[in-house]
Amino acid sequence: MTLIYKILSRAEWEAAKAAGRFEGSAVDHQDGFIHLSAADQAQETAARYFKDQADLVLLGIEAEGLGEALKWEASRGGALFPHLYRPLLISEVLSEAALSLDADGVPRLGDHLA
């Protein structure tokens, strides 16, 4: 089982839970897919895109369960990142964790990554 991750605001997550699905954040809508990260990419994603943002949630998702809608595509520096080309169903989320910020304002993922 390969775990992949999504960082999003608590408000986005609560709205998704109420709807039964996550349609994506603003940048996801802009790019046409839901941005996800592998375990070895998630901390850098947090530092680059979520610095100084409080009240964040980290979702853990089984990559294999997403089927053909999940594509591994080149992104930062040519690294392959998981991109989901459909909404994420709440039932597909295996874990959720509230994130705190370190002294530099970067979300701490640490023990939440497998």
- Residue-level pLDDT at 53: 95
Give me the pLDDT at residue 33, please: 97
Q: What is the mean pLDDT of residues 94-105?
A: 94
Domains and CATH numbers, the chain: 3-112 (3.20.170.20)
- Is pLDDT of 114 > 80? no
Q: Dump pLDDT digits (tens) for 42-96.
A: 999 999 999 999 999 999 999 999 999 999 999 868 889 999 999 999 999 999 9
User: Contact, 64 vs 3, CB < 8 A?
Assistant: no
Question: Comparing C-alpha atoms, which of 85, 77, 71, 76 is closest to residue 31?
Answer: 85
Contact partners, residue 47, CB within 8 Å, separation at least 6: 106, 107
For residue 12, is pLDDT > 80?
yes
pLDDT of residue 75: 82
Q: Which amino acid is at 67?
A: G
| For residues 95-109, average pLDDT | 94
